[in-house]
Amino acid sequence: MPIGELSRRIGVSTDVLRKWERRYGVLKPGRTLGNQRLYSQVDEARLRLMIKHVHGGMSPAQAAEVAAAARFRINAKPLAVAGGLTTSAGSEMVAALARYDETAAEQVLEKLLDTHPATTIIRDVFLPVLGEVGDRWAQGTLVVAQEHFASTFIHSRLLGMARGWDRGLGPKALLACPSGEQHAMGLIAFGIALHQIGWRITYLGPDTPVGAVAEAAARITPALIVLAGAVAGGFEGVGDEIRRLSARWRVALGGAASSPKLAEALRAEHLAHDPITAAQSLLT
Ligand code: B12
């Protein structure tokens, strides 16, 4: 990332960053072909550690030394989703869930987990299964009870895969669905993928007033806030509040309730594509 972006994420001016780089060697930027400095997630992690130690009472020089010596493991590789799943796992899972057979659905999942990364399973099995369940419910070939059973199964497994997503040293993302919005699974999938590329996730869940999101943001100072929803018109009712939020924070909108035009009107970014691809796009 360029220095301006790093400065915005960390909340330290570009002048100070340049000074720290010169004086303490805490940053090791790469260069573009045009010789512009480009900072990595590891640079960001070092800075965050340095700032933490400065706040803890160390001198900047000492804090920089500790941060420079620290070892970080940030997974900045593209997510392991290439290739995709071409098995019949999705249909087997839908069939098991339609007959309320949780054990059989779990067995399908367990087998997949032996051989595929979570993000592949989410993108190529969970999301299509949810789509199919929804379509079949709309067509009347699945009843509400089956739809709820299937959604709850996937919801709980997604939350299981999400455990520990607040750990690490990467930038923080604050995720929530606005008031009245219950469709949270796309957002959880997005958080799981984002964590895999190094971010730390704070998840407030469905039906969260935008004021509560602002309150949490003031406490955790996220580098990004993502609001997501599936119900058409879901963001419009809270448009003014979202605009206020975007005046202070980097805000992005995702899910079917968002569009590039709406996001622009709310001074937010629009996250296009499915949650996994959208998370991946934040690498660049
Ligand atoms: C599960 C589900 C529910 C569950 C949600 C539980 C939960 N914990 O999430 C429950 C039962 C609560 C529910 C309730 C309702 N639902 Co519902 N639900 C679904 C269902 C079956 C799956 C939704 C889902 O999670 N899909 C997985 C996501 C990832 O896929 P997706 O929604 O297609 O999203 C795509 C993109 O938008 C994007 N994306 C989605 N989220 C995000 C987030 C980020 C950050 C990013 C980058 C991208 C992204 O990724 C996907 C593409 O890969 C869909 C059917 C369907 N076809 O999708 C209906 C659906 C979304 N529901 C619908 C409706 C109408 C309702 C109800 C109004 C029904 C009712 N009469 O009560 C209520 C409203 C509740 C509310 N106020 O929010 C409609 C929405 C129509 C619309 N656009 O307005 C759908 C499409 C069903 C339909 N065919 O009519 N629902």
**Residue 67 class from Cβ within 10 Å (0-12 exposed, 13-18 middle, 19+ buried)?**
buried
Arithmetic mean of pLDDT, 210-229:
96
Residue whose CA lies nearest to ligand 1 atom number 79: 231
Residues in the chain: 284
Which atom, in ligand 1's list, is nearest to the CA of 123? 53
What does the pLDDT look like over 197-211, one tens digit per residue? 889 999 999 999 999
Other beta carbons within 10 Å of 174: 25
Q: How far is the CA of 231 from the centre of ligand 1 (A)?
A: 7
Residue whose CA lies nearest to ligand 1 atom number 67: 231
pLDDT value at 47 more than 60: yes
Residue from 183, 202, 191 nearest 255 by CA: 183
Q: Which residues contact ligand 1 via a Cβ below 6 A?
A: 127, 130-131, 133-135, 138, 147-148, 151, 155, 180-187, 189-190, 226, 228, 230-232, 254-256, 271, 274-275, 278
Per-residue burial over 182-212, b if 16 or more Cβ lie within 10 Å, else e, is ebbbbbbbbbbbbbbbbbbbbbbebebebee
Instruction: Locate 63 and state its tokens.
Output: 């804090």
Residue whose CA lies nearest to ligand 1 atom number 11: 148
Q: How far is the CA of 185 from the centre of ligand 1 (A)?
A: 8
Q: At what angle do helices 127-139 and 185-196 cross, to 10 degrees?
A: 170
What does the pLDDT look like over 148-168, one tens digit per residue? 999 999 999 999 989 889 988
Which atom, in ligand 1's list, is nearest to the CA of 131? 57
pLDDT value at 76 more than 50: no
Q: How far is the CA of 67 from the centre of ligand 1 (A)?
A: 43
Q: Detail the DSSP E strand segments found in the chain.
A: 30-31, 37-38, 172-178, 200-208, 224-228, 251-254, 269-270
pLDDT of 175 reads 98
Q: How far is the CA of 50 from the centre of ligand 1 (A)?
A: 42
Distance CA 47, CA 143 (A): 53
- Per-residue confidence at 116, pLDDT binned at 50, 70, 90? confident
Residue whose CA lies nearest to ligand 1 atom number 21: 134
Q: How far is the CA of 261 from the centre of ligand 1 (A)?
A: 21
**Residue 222 class from Cβ within 10 Å (0-12 exposed, 13-18 middle, 19+ buried)?**
buried
Residue whose CA lies nearest to ligand 1 atom number 50: 274
pLDDT value at 24 more than 90: no
pTM, rounded to two decimals: 0.79
Residue whose CA lies nearest to ligand 1 atom number 61: 230
Distance CA 61, CA 20 (A): 9
Instruction: Locate 49 and state its tokens.
Output: 């550690």
Residue whose CA lies nearest to ligand 1 atom number 7: 183
- Ligand 1 pocket: which of 79, 183, 225 to mutate (most atoms <8 Å of CB)? 183
Arithmetic mean of pLDDT, 130-144:
93
Backbone angles phi, psi at 30, to 5 degrees: -85, -175
Q: How far is the CA of 65 from the centre of ligand 1 (A)?
A: 49
pLDDT value at 79 more than 70: no
Looking up tokens 């590329």 gives 197
Share of the chain above pLDDT 90, in %: 57
- Per-residue confidence at 126, pLDDT binned at 50, 70, 90? very high
Q: Which amino acid is at 193?
A: A
Reading phi first (left if > 0) and then psi (alpha if -120 to 50, else beta), residue 100 is in left
pLDDT of 127 reads 93
Residue whose CA lies nearest to ligand 1 atom number 55: 134
Residue from 279, 41, 51 nearest 173 by CA: 279
